[in-house]
Copies of this chain bind each other. A is one copy, B any other.
Amino acid sequence: MSAKDVVLRGLISPVKGLMEEARVVLEQGITDPSPAAQDMLDHISRFRGKQMRGALLLLSGEATGATSDEHPTMAAVVEMIHLATLVHDDVLDGAEVRRRVACVNQRWDNQVAVLLGDFLYTRAFGLSLNLRSTYCSQVLSDTSRKICVGEIEQSTMRYNFDLNQEDYERIAGAKTACLISAACELGARYPEHGFSEERDRYGDDMAAFGWAVGLAFQIVDDCLDLEGDPEKVGKSVGTDAEDGKVTLPILCAYWDADEATRSAIRDVYTKPDLDRRAVRLHDVCDVARGVEFAMARARELVDSASARIKELPASDARDALLQIGDYVLERRW
């Protein structure tokens, strides 16, 4: 276990028992009587990752005094939806390595990856229907739809250097911040009906916290894709430039550049048969400066997230949430 993992384990310690319950629900959910399906589901279980979305849901419940016996199930459902998006993302990105394990689309093929993602989505919805309130199902079906739309918009914005920061944040937010925000909000607001004004405010606060932290996370992720070491990041890097995704750090470098440099950046993105485009970007422009600007924005977002929950009653869970914001700036989950 790396030093970072030790830090992370400390952060989620206020919900250690609940996380264990969620993990059991998740493992039971990712099973099927079909041996062919089970074989693939076993493979998936190896890149489940740190389950930070589930942890955030549980911490949010603890920090706002909302935790119920159904919170671990919700955490498992959120993780399952996240897994579904990861599996489909890998089809979209043509990625080869996810958390140091071959992606589904490499181990089998794109066909199976599409189906497995569908399996996870439908299983997640099915599981959420076991909850006493349909509030979780409603929030997550709506959130999943927004994630799809964000990805669709991103795919139409490829190779588009006319994006402004607002466009970028709207798309990156729908793609990533949306589910993190929903997890935090669900933790604080479930089961929704019949609660007090105070709980309503907690719900709003946690939704805003999750959105800001989630967007910061995506920005850091985009920076890592440009600069990261695949060994440390644990997944393929440099894929954004290959896929024509114009991310915030590269946009910042672009805005800052003269016309000749801008043209060179566009060429790196669009010239056919080029390899290692992310590396080549470093040759034609000041990537480090773009990353610096983007990271400053990520820090600003984390600061606003922290401000939003500082007024919560003091608790280990609240402190953990505050520290997770800082953790996001340091590495990917």
User: Residues of A at under 8 Å CB distance from B?
Assistant: 32, 34, 36-37, 40, 88, 91-92, 108-112, 114-119, 121-123, 125-126, 129, 134, 137-138, 141-142, 144-145, 147-149, 151-153, 155-156
Contact = CB atoms under 8 A, between A and B. Distances in A.
Contact of A148 (B109, B110, B122, B145): B122
A117 B155 CA distance: 15
A122 B144 contact: yes
B88 A114 contact: yes
A271 to B, nearest CB: 20
Q: Give 5 nearest A-B pairs by CB, closest first.
A: A126-B141, A122-B144, A119-B148, A36-B156, A122-B145
Contacts of A32: 145, 149
A152 B36 contact: yes
A151 B109 CA distance: 13
A88 B116 CA distance: 12
A152 B92 contact: no
Contacts of A148: 37, 115-116, 118-119, 122
A126 B257 CA distance: 45
A115 B145 contact: no
Given A91-B110, A111-B92, A138-B129, A153 B36 contact: yes
A282 to B, nearest CB: 27
Nearest to A174: B34
A115 B153 CA distance: 10
A149 B155 CA distance: 28
Nearest to A138: B129
A153 B37 contact: yes
A91 B119 contact: no
A91 B114 contact: yes
A114 B121 CA distance: 13
A146 to B, nearest CB: 9
A145 B116 contact: no
Contacts of A109: 155
A138 B151 CA distance: 27
